[in-house]
Every structure is written in structure tokens, then in C-alpha cells.
Amino acid sequence: MSEAAAALDTHAEGFHDELEPSLTPGNSGKLGMWVFLAGDAMTFGAGIAAYGALRWYNVNWPDPADWLGITLTAIMTFILICSSLTMVEALSSAQHGNQKRMQLFLGLTVIGGIVFLGCQASEWHHLIWGEGLSIKTSLFSATFFILTGFHGCHVFGGVVYLSTLLINSIGKEATAHEAKLLEVAGLYWHFVDLVWILIFTFVYLI
């Protein structure tokens, strides 16, 4: 290979390396999370739309208030909204280099998620063993357990995700990289909270 050709290949490779970061400006993790959430939003949207269509065209659809405890679910919703606020505080603390404050609010976010899952487990236990409701009982029960169960899996995944970040932060100083990781995790957690508000509105209230 001639020196001119080698120089041209080297220049082309360097040019490619310079252009590549522009595909993910700032934070590739954030872009990846947005792509994941976009696909997840379509899945939840399809589930909620299916629930709405089945309920609209089914004249025998039961009144959700006859089966579901609105008070308990309202408390669950409040807990999840509060966990979103603590997540915001955790990220703000990380961005300002306050590691202990970040760990405090991140821990509160994790606790909020665990309490939410505990309340959901209690609700399911009451419906299945107390009321005899199961996924095979009716279209109403099938769509209810699928929607709330799928969301519960997301909350559980978020609790594991945030717990991992919290454990990894122990004994370390706050860094800009850690703040970016927390920002990406925050996108996921806020999405989970928003989806629950939609489920609470369409399944429990309307």
C-alpha cells in the first residue's frame, strides 16, 4: 500500500471517530433509555387501549368499584408520586456533589417502590384468595391482572435498578458520571410513575 493510500485510510478513520459521538450527544445511556421507553410506552398504550375497547363493547363489564379498593390504590398512587419527588431530589443532590443527601433520597425512592409493591401484593392476595378473582374469571380480571402485573414487574425492576446504584455509591465520592447514571435511572422511574397514573385513572377511577 502506498504512503498516500495509508494516509488517506488513517484520515478517513479519524474522520469517522470524530463523527461517531455526534450520534449520541451528551449521554449515550440517556438516548438508549429514551428508545427503550418509547417501545415500552407502545406496549403499555396497547394494553390500556385493549382494556378500553373490551370494556366499551362488553355490556356485562362489572363496575370496578365493586371489586377494587380505591382507597388503597389512592395511597399506592400517592406513594409512587412521592417517590418521583425523592428521585428528583436524589438527582439534584448528585449533580451538586452531595453524596450523602443523594443516598438518603435514593434510599427513600427505593423504599417507596418496595411499599408500593407490598400494597399491590396485598391487593392481589385479597382479590385472588378473598374475592375469588383470577385471570381466568373474566375479561375484566384478565386485563386487570395483566396491566397491573406488567406494571408491577416494571416497579420491581426499578427497585433493583436503583438499589444497585445506591449500593455502588457507598464509600465513594460523588462524580459527574454517577449523576449521569442517576439521570438515566430517573427517566425510567418517572416513566413508571406516569404509567401508573394512567392505569389508576382508566382502570380504577373511570
Q: What is the pLDDT of residue 26?
A: 59
Radius of gyration of the chain (CA): 23
Please report, for the chain, the start and end positions of each structural domain, with discontinuous segments joined by +: 27-205
Tell me the pTM: 0.84
Report domain 27-205's class.
mainly alpha
Task: Render pLDDT for 100-158 as a digit per residue (tens, 0 to 9).
Answer: 999 999 999 999 999 999 999 999 998 889 888 877 778 888 889 999 999 999 999 99
16: pLDDT strictly greater than 70: no
Task: Render pLDDT for 76-106 as a digit per residue (tens, 0 to 9).
Answer: 999 999 999 999 999 999 999 999 999 999 9
Q: CA-CA distance, 86 to 19, in Å (whole number)?
A: 38
